[in-house]
Amino acid sequence: MSGNARKVISHGAGCRADALESTVDQPKISADVLLSAMEQAIDPMVVIDEHNNIILFNAAAERIWGLPRTDVMGRNVSCLVPQAERAQHDSYIDRNRETGIGRIVGTSREVEFTRANGEYVCGELSISRVQLADSHKIYYIAVMKDVTEQSRQRKILILQNDVLQALAADLTVQEMGDLLCRRVDGFVPGGVAAFMLLDRSRRGLSIVASPGMPNRYRTALDSMELSTEQVELLRTEPGSSNKLVWDGYSSLARSLGLQWCCSSAIISRTGQVMGIFALYLRGDEADLAWPKRVVTTSMPFCALAIEQNETRQHIAQLSNFDSLTGLLNRTSLHNVIERLIMRGGDSQFSLFMVDIDRFRDINDALGHVNADRFLIEIGRRIRALVNDEYIVSRSGGDEFIIIVPDCSHAKAEQFAEKLINAIAKPLQVEENTLTISCCVGISTFPENGPDSESLLSLADAAARQAKEDGRGLYRFAGHEKNLVAQERLMLGSALRDSLSKGMLNLHYQPQVETMTGGLYGVEALSRWHHPTLGNIYPSRFIAVAEETGQIEAIGRWSLQEACSQMVRWDRDGVRVPTVAVNLSAVHFRNRSLPEYIANLLSHHGLTPDRLTVEITESVMMDSSSETEEVLHAIRRLEVGLSMDDFGTGYSSLSRLTRLPLTEIKIDRSFINDFETDTNAQAVTMAVIGIGSRLGMTVVTEGVETEQQWRLLEELHCDVMQGYLFARPLPPAELEKWFRERQAKGSFVIPSA
Q: What is the pLDDT of residues 391-428, one digit of tens each?
A: 899 877 788 999 998 888 889 999 999 999 998 888 87
- Rounded to an integer, the average pLDDT of 555-560 is 93
Contacts with 703 (C-beta within 8 Å, 6 or more apart), sequence order = 671, 709, 712, 720, 721, 722, 723, 724, 725
Q: Among the residues of 228-357, which ranges form H helices?
A: 228-236, 242, 250-255, 289-320, 330-342
Q: What is the pLDDT of residues 238-279, one digit of tens each?
A: 989 998 899 888 889 999 989 889 999 999 888 889 999 999
Q: How confident is the model at residue 133 (pLDDT cuts 50, 70, 90)?
A: low
- CA-atom Rg of the chain in angstroms: 47
Cis peptide before 446 (omega within 30 of 0): yes
Residue 381 scores a pLDDT above 80: yes
Of 638, 701, 632, nearest to 667 by C-alpha is 701
pTM: 0.43
The sheet carrying 474-476 orders its strands as 391-396, 399-405, 349-356, 438-445, 474-476
Residue type, 256: L
**What is the C-alpha separation between 191 and 189, in angstroms, rounded?**
5
**Would you say the C-alpha torsion 617, 619, 620, 621 has a positive or negative sign?**
positive
Considering the chain, what percentage of its residues have pLDDT values greater than 90? 24
Dihedrals φ, ψ of 140, to 5°?
A: -130, 135
**What is the C-alpha separation between 588 and 225, in angstroms, rounded?**
61
Considering the chain, what percentage of its residues have pLDDT values greater than 70? 88
**What is the C-alpha separation between 419 and 438, in angstroms, rounded?**
9
Find the helix or strand (DSSP H, E) in which 142 lies: strand 138-146
Contact 565, 506 (CB under 8 A): yes
Find the helix or strand (DSSP H, E) in which 645 lies: strand 640-646
Contact 670, 683 (CB under 8 A): yes
Query: Which CATH code fits 330-479?
Result: 3.30.70.270
Distance of CA 487 to the CA centre of its chain: 31
| Per-residue model confidence (pLDDT) at position 18 | 46
**What is the C-alpha separation between 543 and 550, in angstroms, rounded?**
10
Strand pairing class (534-536; 579-582): unpaired
Strand pairing class (191-199; 273-281): antiparallel
Task: Name the DSSP letter for residue 180.
Answer: H
Find the helix or strand (DSSP H, E) in which 179 lies: helix 173-187
Segment among 481-485, 532-536, 563-567 with least mean pLDDT: 481-485
Of 418, 488, 493, nearest to 458 by C-alpha is 488
The reply to whether domains 34-147 and 170-319 share a CATH topology is: yes
- Rounded to an integer, the average pLDDT of 51-66 is 88
Residue 14 scores a pLDDT above 60: no
**What is the C-alpha separation between 493 and 500, in angstroms, rounded?**
11
Q: What is the pLDDT of residues 452-472, one digit of tens each?
A: 888 888 898 899 888 888 888
| Per-residue model confidence (pLDDT) at position 23 | 43
Beta bridge partners of 641: 613
Residue 568 scores a pLDDT above 90: yes
Class (C level, CATH) for 488-733: alpha beta
Pick the CATH number of 170-319 from 3.60.9.10, 3.40.640.10, 3.40.1350.10, 3.30.450.40: 3.30.450.40
Contact 394, 325 (CB under 8 A): yes
Q: How confident is the model at residue 441 (pLDDT cuts 50, 70, 90)?
A: very high
Dihedrals φ, ψ of 256, to 5°?
A: -105, 5
Residue 10 scores a pLDDT above 70: no
Residue 144 scores a pLDDT above 50: yes
Q: Is 344 left (phi over 0), alpha (psi -120 to 50) or beta?
A: left
- Rounded to an integer, the average pLDDT of 429-444 is 83
Q: What is the pLDDT of residues 211-248, one digit of tens each?
A: 988 989 988 888 788 888 998 998 899 989 998 899 88
Contact 544, 491 (CB under 8 A): yes
- Rounded to an integer, the average pLDDT of 713-717 is 90
Class (C level, CATH) for 34-147: alpha beta
| Per-residue model confidence (pLDDT) at position 492 | 77
Residue 571 scores a pLDDT above 80: yes
Residue 19 scores a pLDDT above 80: no
Beta bridge partners of 551: none
Segment among 90-104, 134-148, 230-244, 420-434 with least mean pLDDT: 90-104
Q: Among the residues of 470-584, which ranges form H helices?
A: 479-501, 538-548, 551-571
**What is the C-alpha separation between 456 and 402, in angstroms, rounded?**
11
- Rounded to an integer, the average pLDDT of 170-197 is 85
**What is the C-alpha separation between 504 and 624, in angstroms, rounded?**
32
- Rounded to an integer, the average pLDDT of 31-51 is 82
Residue 646 scores a pLDDT above 50: yes
| Per-residue model confidence (pLDDT) at position 560 | 95
- Rounded to an integer, the average pLDDT of 699-725 is 91
Q: Is 492 left (phi over 0), alpha (psi -120 to 50) or beta?
A: alpha
Residue 613 scores a pLDDT above 80: yes
Residue type, 689: G
| Average pLDDT along the chain | 83
Q: So where are the chain's domains? A: 34-147, 170-319, 330-479, 488-733
In sequence order, what DSSP letters do the residues of 208-249 get, joined into one string? EE-TTS-HHHHHHHTTEE--HHHHHHHHH-GGGGHIIIIITT
| Per-residue model confidence (pLDDT) at position 126 | 86
Residue 656 scores a pLDDT above 50: yes
| Per-residue model confidence (pLDDT) at position 15 | 47
Contact 295, 238 (CB under 8 A): no
Contacts with 623 (C-beta within 8 Å, 6 or more apart), sequence order = 655
Segment among 117-121, 327-331, 581-585, 660-664 with least mean pLDDT: 117-121
Residue 185 scores a pLDDT above 70: yes
Name the CA dihedral angle for 369, 370, 374, 377, rounded to a multiple of 10 degrees.
80
Of 55, 54, 143, 129, nearest to 97 by C-alpha is 129
